[in-house]
């Protein structure tokens, strides 16, 4: 059925204004697949052409149902987290994929007036929400990255890489794909022995340690605003006998001093905020030696500028924003940096998130013991929504290679594969034989 009709005659007689509004909106949206909805009033609605596995959701109260209709970008995550929207068949990921794939196939589909007004207001005020001063940036980072290493140990790879893996071939494990990501970045950075490297947003230190061990950097300085990441990164450097070459600091990018042959930043630029793009790239230009090379790896949007998803902004990544190239490039140009290479990773993060989500769900009971059921539902929604967005929306990963001069990197990209082959050889020498 594609008309959102009531299944039962008794339901038809009890149809409420709330259900009528919901039926109208979902009838216009869900054209393929099958979505069954049990409304707060107990009525059953069916949408789509019946293809594929059925997804069934249930609203527990009328306010949740209205919230979903009026402001789904914010309220859907909230009512799922609070168990006011229940998925009776399938998973929340299945539901999100069904909705987003229908939106993808019908981009001209109109939002209702209130939803459109909410989106316009968020777009108009996005700079205020992303005004990430040094103090505010540290608060925002703590809200996500200082939740406890026990949480991240549930689903990350053994090197604690919390960014997009690189699936050179489809059959790679998460560990192999994260190693491939580090290798690819090191090759594009052209790291040589004797180089001083700066890692802005170093996370738990895995990339910085790799650049010292496998790429042969003389020194690596990693900076983070997360106290928990800093502690683990320093501990890992000590354990591997690299504390003299790899130093980690609790420091904002605006306060770094010195000059570096290479600068890398992975998964940090999303937290800078539109108002500080000029400051970010000016500082990178200041810190980069005249013949230096920088690699910026960031989630972004391949479409036109928009606003941050309000649910992610409120509950997961406060102050976060996914840039478009048109928003980054003017600041790069004003800073006097040259774009020497651009690579777009499209579905690699969707695959990464799928594995994270599966690992998290497999150890969900442990997460519930660490936190509670509500937290688990929130993180299930976060991982599911992000994966669905990478599959259905204009969300990608950009890798921008930047320099101060246009002769800082080779003329052809052959050097990347050549250096990756060298790095594989070094990795093999470092890995004990089993």
CA atoms within 13 A on the CB side of 120: 7
Residue 356: name the closest of 164, 136, 143 by CA: 164
Please provide the size of the chain in residues. 434
- Decide the pairing of beta strands 55-59 and 85-89: antiparallel
Q: Token pair of 94, please?
A: 């299945």
The answer to whether 337 and 292 are in contact (CB under 8 A) is no
Burial 139-172 (b: 16+ CB within 10 A, else e): ebbeebbebebebbebbbbebbbbbbbbbeeeeb
Could you give the dihedral angle defined by the CA atoms of residues 316, 400, 186 and 275, in that order, rounded to the nearest 10 degrees? -40
Q: Which of 202, 301, 386, 392 is catalytic?
A: 386
Q: For residue 380, what are the contacts with CB-CB under 8 A and spacing of at least 6?
A: 92, 357, 360, 361, 364
Q: CA distances (Å), 280 to each of 112, 287, 327, 328, in order? A: 38, 11, 13, 10
Neighbours of 91 (CB within 10 A): 14
Residue 289: name the closest of 200, 222, 188, 196 by CA: 196
DSSP states of 97-143 as a string?
HHHHHHHHH-TTPPPPHHHHHHHHHHHHTHHHHT---HHHHHHHHHH
Three-class DSSP category at 76: helix
Q: Token pair of 85, please?
A: 């929207």
End-to-end CA distance of the chain: 58
DSSP states of 254-304 as a string?
GG--S-EEEEEEES-GGGT-GGGHHHHHHHHHHHEEEEEEEEEEEEEESSS
386 classed as catalytic: yes
CA distance 70 to 86: 18
Three-class DSSP category at 220: strand
Three-class DSSP category at 372: coil
Active site residues: 386
């Amino acid at each position: 059925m594609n008309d959102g009709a009531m299944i039962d005659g008794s339901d038809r007689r009890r149809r409420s204004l709330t259900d009528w509004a919901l039926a109208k909106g979902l009838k216009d949206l869900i054209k393929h697949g099958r979505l069954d909805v049990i409304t707060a009033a107990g009525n059953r609605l069916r949408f789509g052409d019946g293809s594929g596995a059925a997804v069934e959701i249930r609203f527990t109260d009328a306010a949740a149902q209205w919230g979903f209709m009026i402001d789904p970008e914010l309220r859907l995550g909230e009512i799922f987290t609070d168990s006011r929207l229940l998925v009776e068949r399938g998973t929340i990921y299945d539901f999100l994929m069904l909705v987003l794939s229908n939106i993808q196939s019908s981009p001209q589909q109109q939002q209702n007036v209130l939803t459109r007004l909410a989106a316009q207001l968020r777009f108009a005020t996005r700079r205020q929400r992303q005004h990430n001063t040094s103090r505010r940036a540290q608060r925002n980072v703590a809200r996500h990255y200082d939740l406890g290493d026990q949480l991240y140990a549930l689903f990350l790879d053994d090197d604690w890489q919390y960014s997009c893996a690189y699936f050179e071939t489809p059959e790679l494990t998460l560990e192999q794909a994260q190693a491939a990501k580090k290798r690819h970045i090191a090759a594009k950075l052209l790291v040589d022995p004797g180089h001083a490297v700066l890692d802005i947003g170093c996370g738990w230190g895995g990339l910085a340690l790799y650049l010292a061990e496998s790429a042969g950097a003389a020194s690596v300085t990693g900076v983070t605003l997360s106290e928990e990441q800093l502690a683990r990164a320093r501990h890992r450097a000590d354990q591997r006998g690299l504390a003299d070459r790899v130093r980690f600091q609790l420091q904002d990018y605006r306060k770094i001093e010195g000059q570096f042959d290479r600068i890398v930043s992975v998964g940090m630029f999303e937290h800078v905020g539109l108002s500080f793009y000029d400051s970010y790239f000016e500082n990178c230009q200041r810190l980069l030696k005249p013949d230096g090379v920088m690699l910026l790896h960031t989630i972004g949007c391949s479409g036109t500028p928009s606003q941050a998803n309000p649910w992610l902004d409120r509950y997961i990544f406060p102050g976060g924003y996914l840039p478009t190239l048109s928003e980054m490039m003017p600041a790069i140009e004003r800073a006097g940096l040259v774009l020497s290479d651009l690579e777009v990773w499209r579905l690699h993060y969707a695959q990464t998130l799928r594995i994270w989500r599966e690992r998290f769900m497999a150890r969900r009971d442990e997460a519930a013991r660490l936190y509670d059921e509500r937290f688990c539902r929130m993180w299930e929604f976060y991982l599911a929504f992000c994966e669905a967005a990478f599959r259905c929306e204009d969300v990608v990963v950009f890798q921008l290679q930047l320099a101060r001069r246009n002769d800082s990197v080779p003329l052809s990209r052959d050097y990347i594969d050549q250096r990756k082959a060298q790095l594989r050889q070094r990795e093999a020498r470092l890995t004990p034989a089993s």
